[in-house]
Amino acid sequence: MDYRRYAIYYAPRAGAFASAAAGWLGWDVETGRPVPHPALPGLEWPVADLTRAPRKYGFHGTIRAPFRLAEGVTAQEVTQNVAEMARALPPVWLDGLALTRIKGFLALTPQGDESDLLRLGAEVVSRSDALRAPLTESEIAKRRPERLSPRQRQLLGQWGYPYVMEEFQFHLTLTDDLPEVVADGVAPVLADWLAPVLPRPFGIEDLCLMGEDAAGRFHLVSRHALTGA
């Protein structure tokens, strides 16, 4: 398949956590297919209506945000680059994950010391930067630079994304931007449902190369185990 953009994400390995998260969003990046949403007792809103925006990306944590390939860079070279990074970089372990409200949306965020996670993010961004095409004016405008801090605008210009390096905030998005009353109602139901499958400790053990199809849905292209020391 030809992909219009690529990204480097965390996505859980096959298991109860991955299956539950894919079902919640309604899209499985591993199979590249829609999956049915769960029926959650006590949830007043259809899951499909709560998850429209994150569904196309699948369940993931961004490490390198979606990018178009630089001129002359091939899909094979992208895969090779991610494989080489994974061999050089170690896995990251944190205490666990917790359901958190970030502005208006619900997400899982890591618990514990994030210093190794910040290092991983910085390494992946710097080692993959030659793969990406420069941002267009419209791509820059979508990031609303007028709302960014001076440092975030600098990072956007240098790395193509404002939330990298010390601004990196790893999270696993679970909902659209929701009204406060809806988020308050969804959070306890979702937290109870996810509790049995949340990993503890939580490990980022792979770099997942993702590709965006013509419809805007993301697919797992290849998974590369982090095996560096």
Q: For 28-85, what is each residue's pLDDT tens digit?
A: 999 999 999 999 999 999 999 999 999 999 999 999 999 999 999 999 999 999 999 9
Torsional class of 18: left (φ above 0), alpha (ψ -120 to 50), beta (otherwise) = alpha
pLDDT digits (tens, 9 = 90+) for 98-120: 999 998 999 999 999 999 999 99
Q: Is 197 a member of any domain?
A: yes
Give domain status of residue 17, yes or no.
yes
> Cis omega before residue 201 (within 30°)?
yes
CATH number of the domain within which 21 lies: 3.90.1140.10
Question: Where is pLDDT greater, at 229 or 108?
Answer: 108
State what percent of residues in the chain have pLDDT above 70: 100
Residue 104 lies in a domain: yes
**Domain contains 115:** yes
In the chain, the largest separation of any two C-alpha atoms, in whole Å, equals 52
pLDDT band at 1 (very low <50, low <70, confident <90, very high): confident
Read off the pLDDT of each residue in 177-201 and give the average, rounded to a whole number: 97
pLDDT tens for each residue of 195-216: 999 999 999 999 999 999 999 9
- Rounded to 10 degrees, the C-alpha dihedral 21/27/31/33 comes to 150
In a domain, 157, yes or no: no
Residue 215 lies in domain: 5-137+164-225
pLDDT band at 229 (very low <50, low <70, confident <90, very high): confident
Q: Is residue 154 part of a domain?
A: no
The structural domain count of the chain equals 1
Q: How far apart are CA 208 and CA 78, in angstroms?
A: 12
Is residue 47 situated within a structural domain? yes
**Is the residue at 155 inside a domain?**
no
Please give the mean pLDDT across all residues of the chain.
97
Contact status, residue 172 vs residue 54, Cβ threshold 8 Å: no
